[in-house]
Structure 1
C-alpha cells in the first residue's frame, strides 16, 4: 500500500519522457535519472511496507515512509505544474514553449520560486532521495522484490469471469446449505405469521452471516408484499437520507414525489402511504438504539401482516425492538465444524473434483479452518486467498505461518479482523491501490464496475499492456479481487455488474490507509481536512469544506449524498484545486457547470450523472486530458462543438432515462452531437446520441473502430443500412443499443459482418425481418427486442446461442406460437414476454431452458393457459404475471384452478395489475382472497 504513492509518479515520469523526448536533452536526462532512482527505491519501499504490516516497523522508519510520500508528492506537483504551464501558454510548438519556459524561469529566478526551474528541482529531489535511501538502509531496510504474492494459476480470464459466479463476502445462497432450516422458519414467520406488525431482529457478531440470511429471506418473500425496501443503515447513518431512500423504494410510481426536507414530514408521508399497503422493510446493520425510536413512527400498526427485519451486532438493540409478543429476536451462532469445512472446501478448491481438499493439504487446511472459529465471512476470505495459491504443501505452510504471525502480532484484534487483515496484506502491490479505493466510498456502497474501472484508470492505478486496453486490465484486477472473495458482485440483465465490499473489510481498508494519507473522508462528524491527502471524499455536506481545503494539491474529489451544492462552492473548487484529475458529482444537486471548469487542465474523469446540468460551457474544450465524461441522466440535450476537441476522450455517456415510460420507444433520451465526431478516434463508449436527419453523422461512426459500447437513437429507415455498415467495422463492440425515430419506421438491419464480441444487444425498432447476423453472436449474453413486430418466430435463430442468459421480447413478435425446443437456451436465466398481442401458445420442450430462474408474462391477451411443461423447469424461482386474461390467471389459483399443478412448486408467484401509469401496480400473491375476488 505504501508503494501506492510511488507507482503513479514513476508512470507520470514515463509519460513526461515520452512527451519531451526531442526537447532539451539535459532536462530529459535529469527526468530519466530521477525515474531510475525511484525504481531503485521501490524495492526498499516494499520491504518497509512488509515490516509495517507485520508490526515490525520502528518509529524512525515510519518517519522514513512519510518522507518518501512527501517527495513523491513533490515530484508529482513539479511535473503537473510544468504541464499546466505548457497547456496555458501560447499555441506554439511544445519545444518552443519549453525553451520559453526555461528562459523565463532563468530570467525571473530572483522573483520566482525555484520550482519553476524543473531541472534544478529534479536535481534537488534526487539528492533528497539518495539521503532517504541511505537512511532506509541504516534502518535495516533491504530490497524486497515481490514475486507473485499469488500464483494465479487458478484465476479466471476476462472472457470467463463475467459469467462465473465466483465467491463473495456476501455468502451466496448455495452456501447456506445446512442452515436453511433457519431461513425456512423465518420465511414462514414472514409470510404466514400473525396479521399484526412483526419485527424480526437478526443479531450476531460481524462475519456471522446476518446480512446474507436477511437478503435470502427478503428476496424470497418480497413478492408477497405490496411494497418493500432494503435499507443499509451503518454507523454513520443520516436519518433523513434513510427515510428518503425508503420512500424511493416503496413508492409505486418511480416518478418524483413532492420534496420534503424534514424528518417529521417524511415520516408523515411514509406513514400515510403505508396505511393501505402490506410492506416488508429490512434495515441492515443497525448500530444505535435511538434509530428504532425514530424510524418506527413511519410504520403504522394495522392488521395486514406487515414485517420489519433488522440486523445488528448489538443484542441490546435487538431486545429493545421487541415491543410485542409477536416480535422475534434470532441470535445467529458460529457454524458447526462440518458446515465450516464444507464451505471452506467449496471456496478454496473450486476447480477440484467435487471440490474436495487434496490429501496432502488436509492437515494444514483443517488447522486454518479452526482459526476461522465458524465465521462464514472469515472462511470465504481465507479460502479465496488460498484458491490463488499453488496447491503444494510448502506454499500452504507459508500461508499458515504468516497467518499465525498475524494472530500473534495483533492480539487486540478479533479473529475476523486478523484474517481480513491477512487477506489484505497478501494482495499483490498492483491490487492494493485498487482495493483500497473501496475505502473512499460510503459503507455498503454498491458501484457499477465500469465506473470503477474509469476511476482506477484516471488515478493511474492500471498498468498498460501491449495487447489489452486499460479497461480490460482493470477488469482483470477486479476479477482477481472477486476471486479472492474480497469484493462481492451481482449481475443484472446478463451483463451489468455492481460491486461492493463488506463493511468489516472496509474498516480494515480505512485502518491501513489512514496513516498513509491515501484519501480522506469529510462529513459532519469529521469536517477537518488534514492537508496531506490527495483524494477527498465528501459525504452529505459541503459546508466549510473549502475553508479548510484552500489552495490545495488535491487530485480527486468525489461526493456522496450531498444536500446542497452552491455555485460559489463549485467555482471556488475549480479555481483553488486546478490540479484535479478526478471530479465526481454523481447525484449531487448541481444545476450548472461553471466555465471555470476549463481551469482543470489535468482533469481525466468528470462525472455529472444524475445532476440537473443543462449545458456544457465552451471552456470544456480546454480539458485536453479528459478521458471520461458522464452526462447520464442530466438535462443536457445538445453538446457544443468544443467536445470534438477532446481528442483523448474514451467514454462519452450522454443520455437520460424515463422510468415512467419504461416500455416506450422514447424511454431513452438522445443527445445531439455536432458533426465531426469521427475525430474522437479513442472513443470506447458513446451513448445515447441522436441520428435523425444526419446520414453524414452515421457514416462518421465507422471511424470509431475502438468503440465497445454504442447507443444511437432516432434512427430513420434511410439510415439503417449505413448504420449497420458502420457497426460492421467495430470489431471491439460489446454493447449495442439502436432505437428508431418512430414506431412507423421499419429498419433494414441486414449486414454481411457483425461485431464478434457483442455481449448485449437492444433493438427498439420495427424490423423488416430478423437480422440473421444476431444468430452468429456467440458471446451474446443479453437480448432485448422491443416493437419489432416480427412475423417469423425469432426463437429458431436464438436457441443455439451458447451464452444467452437474458431475453426480453416486448411487442417483438406478432405470431401465435413460441416454441422453446429441446436442447435450446442452455444458459438462459431470465425470460420476459410482454405485449405479444397475437401470441396464443408457448411450448417448452423437456430439456429446454434448464437454468431458467425468472419468467415474466405481461399483457398477452390471447393466451389462455400456462405454457406446457413449465413444471419441468426445476430452477424456476420467480413467475410474474401482469395484466394477463382473467381465464389465464384464474386457472392458476389453488382453489380448483386446472393449471395450478403446473406452478405450485415455484417459490414466488405474483399477479400484477397496472393501475393508471405504466409503473403503478396492484400486486397479489397466489391464492390471495383479494385476487380471487378480482378474478370472479
Structure 2
C-alpha cells in the first residue's frame, strides 16, 4: 500500500476502536474532520513521559522526537541544543515568528523530517531551509509566504510540500530536483470571488519541472499555459502515478493536450479542471480517463456531457459549474451506479428540470445552485430513493415546490436559498405535510 493508504487504514482502525471520534463526514462517507476526545490528556501525558513529544509549555528544556511549539514560545528553540532524536516540529497559535528560528532549525536540528508551519506568520523562507536535507514533510498551509527560495531544490528527500492558502503564485525552477516529491498542493481559495471561476487560484510552473517530478501522486492546482500548451501536456504525461490532479486556467485550444496527458494516468482517482473563464468551452471529448475515477469537477462550458462520463461506473461525486448542460445530460448522470453527490452550479439553462423515475438510485446529496432560468423541478416517483440532502437556489423564477418532494423517505436536510415568497409559502405547506405538523 501507499503511505496515504496505510494512514487511512490506521485512522479507520482508531475510529472503529473509538479512540478517534469523527466530527463530520461528507455524503460519500469520507471522514473530513476528526478529534481525540476523552483520552486526549492521557495520551499527551504518556507521550511526554516516554519523551516522544514535548510541548513548549513544559518547564524542561530537553529534547523529544516531536516538539510542539505554541503560544508564541518559538523563542524556546534558541534554548535547545540539537538532538538527533528530534524528527518533527509543529508550530501552532503563533502571532509572530522571529528570524533566528530558521537559523536554529538549520544548525541544531539537521535531521528534521517534518516541519509544520500551518497558520504560522511566516512571510518568507530563508536559503537555510535547503540545509535540512532529510526533510520529508513541509507544510506552509495558510501562511503568509509569497515565494520559495531557490535552495528548496536541495530537499531531495521531500515527499510532501503543502502551500495551500499561501500567497505563492509561481514555483521556482529548482523544484525539479525534488525527484521524490509525491504530494504537491499549492492553491488559494479567494473568498472575495467565491462565485466566480477565479475562486480557486493555482500556481504557475515550468513544463520541464513537471516532467521531472515523476513520483507525484497529488498535484493541485496548476495553471495550464496557453502558450506551449502541447509541450506542457507532453511533460505532464510523465506523471503516470498521479491519483489527484487539479488544472486551472485551461483554454479551449489546450483541451486536447490535457486529454492526451490524462490518458497516461491509469491510477487517477480525482480530477478537477477549470477553464480560464466561465464562458470558455472545455474541449474534453478526446479524454479517456481511467474507470477508477471517483471524483470529477468541471468548471466551464460543456454544452453537452462528454461521452466518456457515461462510462465512469465508479464515480462517486461530480460537480459541474457553468456547464450549460441539457436535461438529456441529466439522464446520463442518473444512470451512474455509484454516484452519491451531484453539484449543478449555474450549469443548466432549461426552464424545467426533470428527474425521471429510476434515476440517481444511490444519490445522497443533490445541489441545484444559482439556476436563474429555472421555473420548475419535476421529480418522478421512484427517483432519488436514497436522497438525504437537497439544496435549491437562488432561482428567482421558481414559484412551486418540486413535485414529488414528499416521497423522499431518507431526506434529512432541505435547503432553499433566495427564492420567491410564493415558493416559500408553498414549501412550508409541503414540509408541514411531510413532518405531520
TM range (shorter): over 0.9
Residue aligning to 2:80: 549
Distance in 2 separating the partners of 1:789 and 1:692: 25
2:131 corresponds to 1:599: yes
Shift of 1:904: 4.7
Q: TM-score, normalised by structure 2?
A: 0.93
Distance in 1 separating the partners of 2:348 and 2:96: 48
1:475-624 matched pairs, under 5 angstroms: 475-489=8-22, 490-492=24-26, 494=28, 497-523=31-57, 526-531=58-63, 533-553=64-84, 554-624=86-156
Residue aligning to 1:756: 291
For residue 871 of structure 1, give the secondary structure of its aligned residue in structure 2: helix
- Aligned partner of 2:238 among 681, 703, 713: 703
Residue aligning to 2:383: 848
Contact 2:225–2:232 (CA under 8 A) maintained in structure 1: no
Deviations 1:15-34, CA, capped at 9 Å, x for gaps? xxxxxxxxxxxxxxxxxxxx
Shift of 1:753: 2.3
Distance in 2 separating the partners of 1:552 and 1:885: 66
Residue aligning to 1:38: none
Residue aligning to 1:626: 158
Residue aligning to 1:691: 224
- Aligned partner of 1:660 among 192, 197, 202: 192
Distance in 2 separating the partners of 1:777 and 1:729: 17
Distance in 1 separating the partners of 2:435 and 2:196: 30
Shift of 1:785: 0.5
Contact 1:684–1:708 (CA under 8 A) maintained in structure 2: yes
For residue 891 of structure 1, give the secondary structure of its aligned residue in structure 2: helix
Contact 2:259–2:287 (CA under 8 A) maintained in structure 1: no
Task: Tell which deviates more after alignment, 842-851 or 631-640.
Answer: 842-851
Contact 1:542–1:564 (CA under 8 A) maintained in structure 2: no
Residue aligning to 1:888: 423
Distance in 1 separating the partners of 2:176 and 2:124: 21
Change (3 A) 1:707 1:612: same
1:916-935 matched pairs, under 5 angstroms: none
- Aligned partner of 2:5 among 472, 492, 508: 472
Distance in 2 separating the partners of 1:820 and 1:621: 52
Distance in 2 separating the partners of 1:590 and 1:862: 48
Distance in 1 separating the partners of 2:217 and 2:206: 18
Change (3 A) 1:643 1:612: same
Distance in 1 separating the partners of 2:262 and 2:421: 45
Greater share of residues in strand: 2
Residue aligning to 1:678: 211
Residue aligning to 2:325: 790
Change (3 A) 1:753 1:543: closer
2:351 corresponds to 1:819: no
Change (3 A) 1:650 1:543: closer
Distance in 2 separating the partners of 1:906 and 1:593: 57
Shift of 1:903: 5.3
Deviations 1:165-184, CA, capped at 9 Å, x for gaps? xxxxxxxxxxxxxxxxxxxx
Change (3 A) 1:667 1:704: same
Distance in 1 separating the partners of 2:141 and 2:420: 41
1:430-445 matched pairs, under 5 angstroms: none
2:256 corresponds to 1:727: no
- Aligned partner of 1:905 among 431, 434, 437: 434
- Matched residues, number: 432
Distance in 2 separating the partners of 1:719 and 1:792: 28
Distance in 2 separating the partners of 1:541 and 1:474: 30
Q: Which runs of 5+ in 2 are unaligned?
A: none
Shift of 1:587: 0.7
1:190-229 matched pairs, under 5 angstroms: none
For residue 557 of structure 1, give the secondary structure of its aligned residue in structure 2: strand
For residue 747 of structure 1, give the secondary structure of its aligned residue in structure 2: coil
Distance in 2 separating the partners of 1:883 and 1:482: 39
Contact 1:747–1:768 (CA under 8 A) maintained in structure 2: no
Q: Which runs of 5+ in 1 are unaligned?
A: 1-467, 894-899, 908-925, 927-936
Contact 1:559–1:584 (CA under 8 A) maintained in structure 2: yes
Distance in 1 separating the partners of 2:156 and 2:46: 35
CA RMSD of aligned residues (A): 2.0
Greater share of residues in helix: 1
For residue 892 of structure 1, give the secondary structure of its aligned residue in structure 2: helix
Change (3 A) 1:803 1:552: same
Residue aligning to 1:445: none
Contact 1:793–1:813 (CA under 8 A) maintained in structure 2: no
- Aligned partner of 1:714 among 245, 249, 254: 249
Distance in 2 separating the partners of 1:689 and 1:752: 18
2:386 corresponds to 1:857: no
Q: TM-score, normalised by structure 1?
A: 0.45
Change (3 A) 1:495 1:661: farther
Distance in 1 separating the partners of 2:153 and 2:418: 51
Shift of 1:564: 1.6
